Structure 1
Amino acid sequence: MISTQNLTYGYSKKELLFKDLNFTQSAGSIIGLLGKNGAGKSTLLKLISGLLYVKDEQIKVNGYIPHKRDPDFLSDIFFVNDTPFLPSLTIKTYLQIYGALYKSFDIEKMYKILLEFELQEDQNLKKLSHGQQKKFIIAFALSTNCKLLMLDEPTNGLDIPSKSVFRKVLVNSVEDDQLVIISTHQVKDVETLIDKIIVVENGSIVFNEDVYRITEKLQFKILNHLDDISGIIYSEKSPMGYKVILPVNNDEETEMDIELMFNAICNKTEINL
């Protein structure tokens, strides 16, 4: 699906964002792409989608070189930008024009998701609020049934009910032969969705692991105090006490606290899985 070999890219020759980045990913996952501001998450998505150019064949997606913008490549990927640009068209007209560009576009799925998001086909896209525009483009992306979907900060601009609907429609819409990459700072919004975490820092992938593997080896708990508790890998003070990551020492499995996990990685905590 995606393969990068010694990917090197920077917005200037003197300051490289990525240097010799190697990364492969097959279909069948919903990935949480995490990192601090400026880590290169959005840039990586733009490189994968062909919006940015790199020399040679440093990136391949579905066997295509993204920056060549082959029509067959473009018809099977969709990139939802943080601030989507939409024309002054009604939803119905947009679907008639742009739906035809995607070989697996499902109009019935589209209208079902529009109903979930409380959008009507006669609404003009330019007159929608930012949150409504975001809901529309997410609905359209999911309805293309593209093999690769990339969502950059998809929950920005969504209110709490809409975030809940987003999680519902994403889970119900994605098939096993698709790959979804969600780049976000709002990690709690996607905590229950993702099955793999990739963390980018200083132009490198510093963590790349399946969620099931993490929860198989680690426990995430809240403790009243840290006294006499051995084996703590990472801890943070919270209003409820202490959030901690511990190695699994019995058969008890806990849900992953993605924010705690991300903070542990960013604080250079040694995590052995």
Structure 2
Amino acid sequence: MISLQDLTFSYRKGHLVLNNLQLHFEPGRIYGLLGKNGAGKSSLLYNICGLLYPQAGQCQVMGFNPAKRQPAFLRQVYLLPEAFHLPDVDIDQYVRLYAPFYPGFDSAAFDRHLDVFEVPRRQQLHALSHGQQKKVLISFALATTARILIMDEPTNGLDIPSKRQFRKVIAGCLREDQCMIISTHQVKDLDSLIDEVLILENGRIILKEPVTRITEKLSFRQVLSLEETEAPLYSEGALKGYAIVAVNRREEHSRLDMEMFFNAVMVEKEKILPLFTR
């Protein structure tokens, strides 16, 4: 569905933002793109959308070259950027203006998502808070039914109840012919949503693994004392003892803690990454 071959991108000569990336994204999956500030996450997303162009290599999305920005391509791709500017119209006018570009726009789904987010339909966009505006855009993005859905920091600006609503709206809405990529620093907001985790560091993908394989290789659990378990790969102090990431030697089932996993990889690359190359 999305194929990147030897993709290289930079904003200025001698400073590579994306370095020789080899990536494939499949339909029917939600990908979580993680990385520190400046790792190249937004640049990767914008190359996929055709808003930035690679200096070398190829990017193919549904058979299209995104850089050509063909209408048939744009109708099947929706990007929700981190920063946005909305016109001075109400929600109904916004839909009338922009929905016709997307042939599969689902008005009923848009209304359902707004209901979950508790956003009144008859509102001026400029009268809404930043968080409410983002809820409208998330609802619109999903209602386009575009085959490629890309969200850059979608939960920034959302309060705790709204983040719960976000997870409810996203869960179960993806069709088999769609692919969703979510880039975020709010890692905990993606728990239970993600099918596959990608970690980008210094312009390279250092890990790309399904959640099922991560929990097959690693165990995430709480212990009262580090002395009661074999030496973990990574640990953090918790309210009651320690939260740890350990090699899953007993084939136990545990729930992926996305934030713990990301922190563990960043701190203990030499210990963790080799587990996924065997």
Q: In which range does the TM-score fall when normalised by the shorter chain?
A: over 0.9
Equivalent residue, structure 1, for 2:114? 114
Q: What is the CA–CA distance in structure 2 between the aligned matches of 1:154 and 1:141, rounded to whole Å?
A: 11
Aligned AA for 2:105? F
User: Could you say which residue in structure 2 is the equivalent of 1:197?
Assistant: 197
Q: Deviations over 1:36-92 (max 9, x none)?
A: 011011111111111112256611111111111010110011100112221111111
Within a 5 Å distance, the mapping from 1:217-228 to structure 2 comes to 217-227=217-227
The corresponding residue for 1:244 is: 244
Size of the aligned set, in residue pairs, is 273
CA RMSD of aligned residues (A): 1.5
| Aligned-pair identity (%) | 45
Task: State how far apart, in whole Å, the 2-side matches of 1:172 and 1:242 are.
Answer: 33
Q: Is the 8 A contact 1:233 1:269 kept in 2?
A: no
Which residue of structure 2 lines up, in the alignment, with residue 266 of structure 1?
Answer: 266
TM-score normalized with structure 2 length: 0.94
Does the 8 A contact of 1:28 with 1:178 survive in 2?
A: yes
Aligned 8 A contact 1:220 1:256 in 2: yes
How far is the alpha carbon of 1:162 from its aligned partner?
1.0
C-alpha deviations, 1:94-116, integer Å up to 9, x for none? Answer: 11121110121101111111122
8 Å CA contact retained: 1:86, 1:125: yes
- Code of the aligned partner of 1:270: K
Where does structure 1 differ by over 3 angstroms across 4 or more consecutive aligned residues?
A: none
Separation of aligned partners in 1, 2:18 and 2:89: 38
Q: CA deviation at 1:188?
A: 0.6
Match of 2:24 in 1: 24
Please tell me whether residue 229 in structure 1 is matched to residue 229 in structure 2. Answer: yes
Structure 1, 221-230 or 41-50: larger mean CA deviation: 221-230
Q: Is the 8 A contact 2:6 2:56 kept in 1?
A: no
Residue 131 (structure 1) aligned with residue 120 (structure 2): no
**1:51 maps to what in 2?**
51
Question: How far apart are residue 226 of structure 1 and its match?
Answer: 1.5
Counterpart contact for 1:3–1:61, Cα < 8 Å: yes
Partner of 1:99: 99
- How big is the shift at 1:179? 0.8
Indicate the residue corresponding to 1:253 in structure 2. 253
Runs of 5+ consecutive residues of structure 1 not aligned to the other structure: none
Q: Report the TM-score when normalising by structure 1.
A: 0.95
